[in-house]
Amino acid sequence: MRAAPTILHLDMDAFYASVEQASKPSLRGKAVIVGGLGPRGVVATASYEARRFGVHSAMPMAQARRLCPNGAYLVPRFTLYRSVSDVVMGLLRELSPLVEPLSLDEAFVDLEAGGVARDAESALATGQRLRADILAATGLSGSVGLAGSKMLAKVASEEAKPNGLLLIEPGTERELLAPMSVRTLPGVGPATGEHLRRAGITTVGELAEAGEDELVRMVGRAHGVGLYRMALGLDDRPVVAERDAKSVSVEDTFDVDLHDRVRIRGEVQRLADRCVQRLRGSGHSGRTIVLKVRRYDFSTLTRSETLRGPTDDPAVVREAAGRLLEAVDTTGGVRLLGVGVTGLADYTQEDLFAQSLAAAGEWAAEGEPGGSTGAQEAEETPGAPGASGGPEPARERHWAAGSDVRHAVYGPGWVQGSGVGRVTVRFEQPGSQPGRVRTFLVDDPELEPSDPLPLVGEPAPSRPA
């Protein structure tokens, strides 16, 4: 614990949904739900307007649609989210060399290490300036917590939501924490929370009063000691600037269980290619290939194979994943498949198994047609070729709700929906007024997929209404 509140925790407010509202003027102030749109999709983020209906992250998308039938349901656009995150993280690194990202929209910052804060007054000024800088650079709001420890800074940012700032003065921790639910503390999930509730412990204050010995008796030594320290507001963990990635993986959940063994094998090969693309994008290679299979009855199997050395060769990963699949019984159907690489290294060992250049050149670009409902599928390109890579001239182009498009006459816009051979597009962009809606045939040659526009910048020239 520090004597001054110089640890900052930033948490962007409803990040994915807020980015969508900022880039789509017609959705500002409305319920927006981002996630997988298929029948087995899951909510990634819900705007605060949607949360009033009871929608929250990790909820099945079908349930969200029942709770909020008039909401805007969109696929995630991770390319845009990452670019906005890079801007935010850049602002944090201007404050201190010690920035510990937890996700695209969340990070700890050691303000003392950057020399920008030494007491409550300077920390408060830094937090206020940061929020203003983020708003100016991205048009988005973030909540900031300031405290003498990482745990308390995170608690403070959560209490400050949405679009707020809270500083916890050292010495006031126990008073602040006492009335809060035990679920506020890191590591207290539903199971532990229910166990404590049955023992009559529902608040952090009651947790502290129970004492260390009683908590050790209830939940074990390691967890009990940690819970007691957190209840007292004690946390000595430092802000760590670099966090080594331990694995890279991709997975897809399918709308309908897969039974055809050839189709399953093809999906595994496709996932292996996507995993390698992500692996290369992170600048790593890996030596252990992992296959994940969730069967029709929700039983989940994982199989792994460790190679002789690290690789980022797509042919090697495909072959290893294929071998692992041969050892898995898929009778009855498969609802989810995943491929991952662990044992990461910062270098590659070229031609690890003397794969031919032709085989290595078969690496496919990310972006497949529909069939997946996982959030990571949001980056698929509408109308992309199938996994086989062969031409599919007769195939109807797929336009996912929320994806970016550009029309030769009307300019940039986004897909509101599609079906029965037609696609509906709203033509608007960040900084514009809510735009007009037009409908086209799905194969209209003047309508093309487009890259996302930046949230902040000069608006593009207006197009015919």
Summarize pLDDT for 157-169 with one digit per residue, the tens: 999 999 999 999 9
Q: What is the pLDDT of residue 40?
A: 79
Give, as one character, the DSSP assignment of residue 182. G
Q: List residues with catalytic annotation.
A: 106
Q: What is the pLDDT of residue 219?
A: 84
> At how many degrees (to 10) do helices 120-138 and 78-95 cross?
150
Lowest mean pLDDT among 105-119, 335-349, 368-382: 368-382
At 120-147, the pLDDT tens digits run: 999 999 999 999 999 999 999 999 999 9
Q: What is the pLDDT of residue 311?
A: 87
Binning pLDDT at 50, 70 and 90, where does residue 367 land? very low
At 240-284, the pLDDT tens digits run: 986 666 788 999 988 889 999 999 999 999 999 999 998 888 778
At 324-353, the pLDDT tens digits run: 999 899 989 999 999 999 888 754 433 333
Binning pLDDT at 50, 70 and 90, where does residue 115 land? very high
Task: Spell out the residues 6+ positions from residue 408 whose beta carbon is closer than 8 angstroms to its own.
Answer: 446, 447
How many whole angstroms separate alpha carbon 294 and alpha carbon 304?
15
Q: Which letter, b or e, does each residue of 147-157 get, where b requires 16 or more Cβ atoms within 10 Å of its Cβ? A: bbbbbbbbbbb
Cα torsion angle, 17, 18, 20, 21, sign? positive
Q: What is the pLDDT of residue 289?
A: 95
Cα–Cα separations (whole angstroms), residue 13 to 48, 135, 136, 157:
9, 12, 15, 10
Phi, psi (deg, nearest 5) at residue 139: 80, 10
- Neighbour count for residue 329 (Cβ, 10 Å): 8
Q: 345 has which bridge partners?
A: 285
Residues 54 and 31: beta-carbon distance below 8 Å: no
At 2-35, the pLDDT tens digits run: 889 999 999 999 999 999 999 999 999 999 999 9
Query: What is the Cα Rg of the chain in Å?
Result: 24
Binning pLDDT at 50, 70 and 90, where does residue 457 land? low
CA atoms within 13 A on the CB side of 455: 27
Cα torsion angle, 37, 39, 44, 48, sign? positive
Cα torsion angle, 350, 353, 357, 359, sign? negative
How many whole angstroms separate alpha carbon 362 and alpha carbon 350?
16
Average pLDDT over the chain, rounded to whole?
85
